[in-house]
Amino acid sequence: MMKQAVILAAGEGQRLRPFTVTKPKTMIAIAGKPILQYVIEALARNGIRNIIIIVGYRKEQVFNYLGAGEKFGVNIVYITQEKQLGTAHALIQAKGAVQDEFLVLPGDNLIEANTIARFITAKPQAVLVKKVENTARYGVVTTDGDMVRSIEERTGDTECDIINTGIYAFDERIFDFIEAELAIPDVINNMIAQGSAVSAQETEGTWLDVVYPWDILSLNNAILRQIPPSLGGTIEAGAYVKGTVSIGKDTIIHSNSYVFGPAVIGENCEIGPNVCILPATSIGDNVVISPLSSIENSVIGKDVNIGPGSIIEDSVIDESCLIQGRFTACSDETEVRINDELHQVKIGAMLGVGCNLKSNVVAQPGVIIGNYSQVQAMKLLSGRLPDKSTVF
């Protein structure tokens, strides 16, 4: 059984901007925890406590949050990938630090303990695979029985429904094949071409990656389905809490407010009165939701203040945003451009860190507002606003 793991956590995640301008994508918080913490917890629950994390982009945030790993019951060693050139280039940084057999996992995927429970006994070299309906954004794995024949990255049109999760069981022989390759799938293809056997093991456990801003909502949904209920703080008379809901200490749910789970509300929050928190909503610490507001299927970061009469659907609002009254971020099917890619998605608004919106702002579906943007009252927002925009 594996006793050691390497987590690849050096990348930025450009397609996730504005959320990755101020933090690495592994540190995007979902339901009060960074994605990377879920990966570490999955390993710890499977008895893997010796963890090497390959860091790079904004690595200090990873150090400051995780430390040496003692509060998570693990021992963490950090290795820096100075230039983020690819997954194989990241892995070879760990040469000399790993011994015998080890797991390799992405730090920016939602991985639960049961996802890797069987895989930790896999004999190297092995790839954890999963069946999905739409393979367009993933590397597909062609197999012969339970052996890998090839891995092809983002092929688009294919009848194959088996994808590469980016989770591997290796031993030290992997380093003999990396050479000039930058991506682990290319290394595996080289190994197979040179006669090495690589097996495929399928998982039915939770595995989700975060590539685009709206993926944050998918991860949030998956996490909230697993949360244990916990009612801390104060729930006033006349407030109504139903379903699986976690409420942090020192939080007040004022009268005539409705909280329908699954939902997570952090510590020291003030909700209401007369507020609706609808399913699939995560709210960070120190958040104020003012009266007559409604929030549904959204992720609200810490230290956010949302004014009265606001309606927010299918949206992500990063930390430290100040939003005055009657803000509207309704959701609809729309086309969103990320770099040179066009995506048809049902989405509300995406707000970066530290935005300041005055009263009666309306965000059209799919709007992406860059970090530290300022928007005056009575404005209609659409498209994409760069960081530090000012809308008069």
Residue boundaries of the structural domains of the chain = 4-211, 228-391
Per-residue pLDDT reduced to its tens digit, 137-151: 778 888 888 888 888
Sequence-separated (6 or more) residues with CB below 8 Å from residue 96: none
- Assess whether pLDDT exceeds 70 at residue 347: yes
Q: What average pLDDT does the segment 180-206 reach?
A: 88
- Assess whether pLDDT exceeds 70 at residue 158: no
pTM listed for this prediction: 0.91
Rounded to an integer, what distance in angstroms lies between the CA atom of residue 178 and that of residue 183?
Answer: 9
* Identity of residue 328: T
- The per-residue pLDDT of the chain, averaged, comes to 92
CATH hierarchy code of domain 4-211: 3.90.550.10
- Assess whether pLDDT exceeds 60 at residue 311: yes
Per-residue pLDDT reduced to its tens digit, 49-88: 999 999 999 999 999 999 999 999 999 999 999 888 889 9
Distance of CA 138 to the CA centre of its chain: 16
pLDDT at position 155, please?
Answer: 56
- Assess whether pLDDT exceeds 60 at residue 156: no
Indicate the fold that domain 228-391 takes in CATH.
UDP N-Acetylglucosamine Acyltransferase; domain 1 (2.160.10)
Residue with tokens 């749910």: 253
Q: pLDDT class for 131, splitting at 50, 70, 90? A: confident
Rounded to an integer, what distance in angstroms lies between the CA atom of residue 12 and that of residue 257?
Answer: 39
- Assess whether pLDDT exceeds 60 at residue 157: no
Label residue 111 exposed, middle or buried (CB < 10 Å: 0-12, 13-18, 19+): buried
